[in-house]
A and B are shown apart, each in its own frame.
Chain A
Amino acid sequence: AQSVTQLDSQVPVFEEAPVELRCNYSSSVSVYLFWYVQYPNQGLQLLLKYLSGSTLVESINGFEAEFNKSQTSFHLRKPSVHISDTAEYFCAVTISNDYKLSFGAGTTVTVRA
């Protein structure tokens, strides 16, 4: 079975500073990877995903993530954060022919002025 480890439970960061959220996965087969964001008192929103193709994927709000098969990682980065990026971020993995998403424990990002 596949699993996900998010290496940082909390990441405090100042506004306009860069941020990196680390995600490592374990699987014996090819995987599909996702980052979801959950703002306070809301549901999960898809931030970006890797299904195939280019290993660098980008979101419309400035986040990017790179799939690294050799390091089994899918780290999320943003070069300059805003107060509005304060949220919980979940990395998730699935495999072919499987409805089940395996989520990491989540990383709480708190952006301070």
Chain B
Amino acid sequence: DTEVTQTPKHLVMGMTNKKSLKCEQHMGHRAMYWYKQKAKKPPELMFVYSYEKLSINESVPSRFSPECPNSSLLNLHLHALQPEDSALYLCASSQPIRFSGDTDTQYFGPGTRLTVL
């Protein structure tokens, strides 16, 4: 099973709202990712967690706050977003890098379509 689930599928929020996106995987993966994808563009990496610790933050504005409460769950907390933050937010997971020369395949969820009014 290579399934990553994301909720909600769609989210509309105002610029003063606080909301959260959720991601879950049961593949035993210990690396999880958040990506942002604008229309007709490739995904852009936002955050990487490895063994529940933040490993990479691609200079993402603080209005996006990631959280990894356990090895299966990944949240993205949203606050005071701007209309330009409207996009498809994708979660992915993989086995973490454990040894020199190691890498693994990222599996993506279906995404949350976010609209900021």
* Residues from chain B with Cβ under 8 Å of A98 in the complex: 97, 103
Task: Check: B76 CB closer than 8 A to any chain A CB.
Answer: no
Interface residues in A14-60 by Cβ distance below 8 A to B read: 32, 34, 36, 41-46, 49, 51
Chain B window 70-108, contacts with chain A (Cβ cutoff 8 Å), 1 for yes, 0 for no: 000000000000000000101010100100111101111
B-contacting 9-mer, from A69-77, A78-86, A103-111: A103-111
Task: Check: A100 CB closer than 8 A to any chain B CB.
Answer: yes
User: Contacting B97 at CB < 8 Å: which of A42, A43, A49, A99?
Assistant: A99
Is there contact, CB below 8 Å, between B108 and A44? Answer: yes
Is there contact, CB below 8 Å, between B90 and A32? Answer: no
Interface residues in B9-60 by Cβ distance below 8 A to A read: 31, 33, 40-43, 45, 48, 50, 55-56
Task: Check: A97 CB closer than 8 A to any chain B CB.
Answer: yes
Complex Cα distance, B43 from A46, in Å, reads 14
Is there contact, CB below 8 Å, between A97 and B100? Answer: yes
Task: Check: B111 CB closer than 8 A to any chain A CB.
Answer: yes
Task: Check: A61 CB closer than 8 A to any chain B CB.
Answer: no
By secondary structure, the A interface counts as loop
User: Contacting A99 at CB < 8 Å: which of B4, B41, B43, B55?
Assistant: B55
Query: Would you give the shortest CB distance from A34 to chain B, in whole angstroms?
Result: 7
User: Contacting B105 at CB < 8 Å: which of A34, A41, A97, A103?
Assistant: A34
Is there contact, CB below 8 Å, between B42 and A90? Answer: yes
Complex Cα distance, B105 from A32, in Å, reads 9
Complex Cα distance, B107 from A70, in Å, reads 29
Q: Which residues of B contact A (CB under 8 A)?
A: 2, 4, 6, 31, 33, 40-43, 45, 48, 50, 55-56, 88, 90, 92, 94, 97, 100-103, 105-111, 113
Q: List 7 A-B contacts (CB under 8 A).
A: A42-B111, A49-B105, A51-B103, A96-B102, A99-B48, A103-B42, A105-B41
Q: Which residues of A contact B (CB under 8 A)?
A: 32, 34, 36, 41-46, 49, 51, 90, 94-101, 103-106
